[in-house]
Amino acid sequence: MTDLVQIYDRDHVRVIRMNRPGKKNAASLELAWGVIEAIRGAAQEDNVWIIGLTGVGDAFCAGLDLTPEEDQEKFIPMSDQDRYLDDLGWVSRFYLTLKEECDKPVVGGINGVAVGAGLALAMATDIRIMATSARFLAGYPRIG
């Protein structure tokens, strides 16, 4: 599992924390895949009854990370996980894994901003508990 996703158990609760505080937990391909794998893992474990999803730092998820990679080539063949995320339409649908692959209740700990894909991820949780600093923003209209 990637360092971008922290996972720990407390009794029958699996806590999944998105760990990109320097980017306000913006969803990179690696972070999105890490969240999907963590949810899948929790869904398959009988000892896990509830899943908690939150972000590290002062943000839940600032949406899709649109920053280009410095070493990114113009064309990179898709790996199996890239192909899977592409099949999900990951930019707009990676959060639906919560509903498609997990029948356990997911509680969103909204500890700060939830923008764009982060808003969609927050809305995909079954229950949302919000900090007083939490803010929701669609974000899509601002990028066109």
Q: What is the pTM (predicted TM-score) of this model?
A: 0.82
Architecture of domain 5-139: Alpha-Beta Complex (3.90)
22-59 pLDDT tens trace: 999 999 888 988 998 999 999 999 999 999 999 999 99
DSSP string, 59-96: EEE--B--PPPTT--S--PPPHHHHHHHHHTHHHHGGG
77-90 pLDDT tens trace: 667 777 666 665 65
Going across the sheet that includes 59-61, the strands are: 59-61, 113-115, 135-137
The neighbouring-strand residues paired with 136 are 114
- The pLDDT of residue 139: 72
How do the domains of the chain map onto residue ranges? 5-139
Nearest CA to 60 among 142, 3, 130, 141? Answer: 130
